[in-house]
Structure 1
Amino acid sequence: MTLSREESNRAIITVLGRDQIGIIAWVSGRLAEYHVNILDISQTIVNEFFTMIMVVDLKPAILELVELARTLEHEGDNKGLQVKVQHEDIFTFMHRI
């Protein structure tokens, strides 16, 4: 059965900041703790700046989207990283051409 857009359980996570050891390990480890499945990941380093975009499945998650976003954003701030978590539909709407 295919999910309609209204029933999507996917979110987009973006991480930006100065490159440092362990960013991917930290994010993926936290997501594993919360039972969030990573569906796709893209990361790059431009000069000394790290950027990552992840598509994740929230269906098995033990946290609601808002709580996950708050937690990762707060912990990211402590690491000097900007972390944003948005529902797929909101991300798509905000970034349409």
Structure 2
Amino acid sequence: MVKETGQKRAVLTVLGSDKVGIVAKVTALLAKHNANILDISQTLLEDLFSMIMLIDIEDLSLDFETLNKELEELSKELEVQIKLQNEEVFRYMHRI
């Protein structure tokens, strides 16, 4: 069961080969559009990078779809997979 938080939240995942600047560029893009990182976890398995973030999107300076498009462009630049989903959608898709 999902707790009611009163916040609009999203889950952002990043997967790919490790390289300099992934965290910096992703977090800079989020900060630029007023998305607040509530929690973050990252892991390296040899040269494989994975990161998951829970972000507050209540006060975004643009709409969710436009942020998603900018993240898609960044994923091409960084050659990693970046996926942004509303928290409710993420939890529904990953329920046990």
Where does residue 34 of structure 2 map in the other structure? Answer: 35
- 2: CA distance between counterparts of 1:93 and 1:77? 27
Maintained 8 Å contact 1:8/1:88: no
Q: Give the total of aligned pairs.
A: 94
Q: What TM-score, normalized by structure 1, do the two folds share?
A: 0.90
For structure 1, list consecutive stretches of 5 or more residues without a partner in the other structure.
none
Percent identical residues? 41
Secondary structure class of the residue paired with 1:21:
coil
Q: RMSD of the TM alignment (CA)?
A: 1.5
Unaligned runs of 5+ in 2: none
Given the two structures, how large is their TM-score scaled by the length of structure 2? 0.91
Over residues 10-35 of structure 1, what are the superposed CA-to-partner deviations in whole Å (9 max), with x where a residue is unaligned? Answer: 00000011000111111111111001
SS across alignment from 2:59: coil
- Return the letter of the residue paired with 1:4: E
Question: Which consecutive segments of 4 or more residues in structure 1 shift more than 4 A?
Answer: none
**3-state secondary structure, aligned to 1:96:** coil
Deviation at 1:8, TM superposition (A): 4.3
